Amino acid sequence: MRYTFLPFIFLSFMLLFSVNENLVNTTFKTNEFATNVVNPIAMVKNEADIIKEKSELLYCEIQPEGFSLPELEIFTKAFEGYTAIEAQGKIKNNILTIIDFSLSSTKERMWVIDMVNKKVILQTLVSHGIKSGKEFAKSFSNQNESYKSSLGFYLTGETYIGKHGISLKLDGLEFGLNDKARERDVVIHGAEYVSKKLANKQGYLGRSQGCPAVATAIAPKLIQTIKNKSILFIYHSSRMYVNKSKLIS
């Protein structure tokens, strides 16, 4: 009678071994799967790090040519958007123009950068809209008749001769932020009220109806340099823009 339990014990042992082996294999396969799965959050962070590293490297390589450079943080945002737009095949003229409306209008807050030859071509005064602020631009709009500046990335268009002489059409690339630029006639043009003398006299630069206007003497050369699908980035530290833009992180 004592031998009748042996087959039962043997069978139980074999079943237990089989279950444990399946658990081990399942665990191994699960861990292997988890290792191979791409974490989208990690991938986004990695892409952001790559953009940051590339922009910092390029920033160090750019020759000021007697001018200054925009702040690295602003250049990084400009480079991020520039790279995204370039990937869409929209850029035909490899010039990046940056305007920092966080600065006083008495400062030379426009930079024109040759992205191929890695050098600053021009740094100059630029006006903001009369309803955006006095010395400092503080309020921005995408609406008609607002007389305010609009932030974000633009693609430069064609030139024309208007009441301010040679002028440059702009196409806003950011929905809700500047996409009505052409409809609003927001263009780059020269203006007599953009002058260092006037800025020193009254403490602020003359203002436009929303256009990024430059000095009359500067306008022809600037417009010929940046026309025909180069990138213009108008920046301000406002969280409204940073939170709403799809082109910068």
Sign of dihedral through CA atoms 24, 27, 30, 35? Answer: negative
Look at residue 152 and tell me whether its pLDDT is greater than 50: yes
pLDDT tens, residue by residue, 21-69: 554 454 444 454 444 555 655 555 688 889 999 999 999 999 999 999 9
pLDDT tens, residue by residue, 70-119: 999 999 999 999 999 999 999 999 999 999 999 999 999 999 999 999 99
Q: Is 193 exposed, middle or buried (0-12, 13-18, 19+ CB in 10 A)?
A: middle
Mean pLDDT score, 171-193: 98
Give me the pLDDT at residue 14, please. 53
pLDDT tens, residue by residue, 212-232: 999 999 999 999 999 999 999
Mean pLDDT score, 17-21: 48
Give me the pLDDT at residue 249, please. 86
Amino acid found at 103:
L
Please count the other Cβ atoms lying within 10 Å of the Cβ belonging to residue 68: 11
Instruction: Spell out the alpha helix ranges (H) of 37-174.
Output: 40-61, 72-87
Sheet holding 165-172, edge to edge: 119-124, 110-114, 95-100, 231-235, 152-162, 165-172, 187-191, 214-215
Joined together, the tokens standing for residue 138 give 């503080």
HSE value, Cβ hemisphere, 13 Å, CA-based, for 125: 27
Mean pLDDT score, 172-198: 97
Please count the other Cβ atoms lying within 10 Å of the Cβ belonging to residue 63: 13
Joined together, the tokens standing for residue 26 give 């399942």
Give me the pLDDT at residue 101, please. 98
Give me the pLDDT at residue 53, please. 95
